[in-house]
Structure 1
Amino acid sequence: MISPQPAETKARRRGKPIEVWVNDEEKSQIAIRAKECGLSRSGYLRAVGLNYPVRSVVDLAAVTDLAKVNGDLGRVAGLLKLMLLEKRGQGERAIDVHALMVEFRELQGEVRAIMSKVVYEGK
């Protein structure tokens, strides 16, 4: 059985323009904010005017960076734990190692909390 072809994506049907009078500085700020959201100026103003959520691409990029750092923290903690298990009795006391591992987990929790705040408050 042959599956149906996906419907072609159609460009948004143009309606009627709305004139908004702004000075050069305001126009520049609107252009910057639209770009930060990955939208055209028209798309940005439409979304804001209709009270749709607009999300900054910069915020989402920050969340992606934080997710990478969170993963790196987890890998470093795992490697540290593995290294210490292989060299049991040498180097640091077990209680100090445990405290360090707890600190790693707390840092991961803080990173996740920041990511959640950016993602959910941005909606």
Structure 2
Amino acid sequence: METHKTKITRKNSPPIKVYCLPEERAIIEAGAKAAGLSTSAYLLAVGQGYRVHGVTDFESVRELVRINGDLGRLGGLLKLWLTDDVRTARFGADTILALLARIEATQEQMSSTMERVVRPRGGQE
């Protein structure tokens, strides 16, 4: 006689029901959405003591990195102007140097913002 063992999975295990008020449910669902998880996956992670990180902050950092790269490329093109390339002869030195200074200031501000977004808040973690 052949015996078949059923593989134990979450789907064939009994669920845990959580009763909550509509406001509590909205908070839980918002936390799950911010973390990029389903409500079930979010509650499972939090219930097991995992610290859930929001994806919104990391998406913001990714966007800031892209912008920073664009600014760096623009700075490279402006440096080309400093080599007296004929293609950039129509721009005045004051305009170009002021723009380079703004690019550097923006890059510093973006780096500071990225650190704040990624660094844990309130000494957590």
Compute the TM-score of the two structures, normalised by the length of structure 1: 0.68
> Distance in 2 between the 1:107 and 1:31 partners?
35
Distance 1:100 1:35, change over 3 A: same
- Matching of residue 113 in structure 1 with residue 112 in structure 2: yes
- Give the match for residue 55 of structure 1: 53
SS of structure 1 residue aligned to 2:33: helix
- Seq. identity, %: 37
CA contact (8 A) 2:35 2:52 kept: yes
Equivalent residues in 2 for 1:94-109, closer than 5 Å: 97-109=96-108
TM-score under structure 2 normalisation? 0.67
Whose Rg is larger?
A: 2
Larger RCO (CA within 8 A; separation ≥ 6):
1
CA RMSD of aligned residues (A): 3.2
Structure 1 residues 70-93: Cα deviation after superposition (integer angstroms, max 9, x where no partner): 001111111011023225886423
Structure 1 alignment gaps of length 5 or more: 1-9
Moved more, 28-37 or 81-90: 81-90
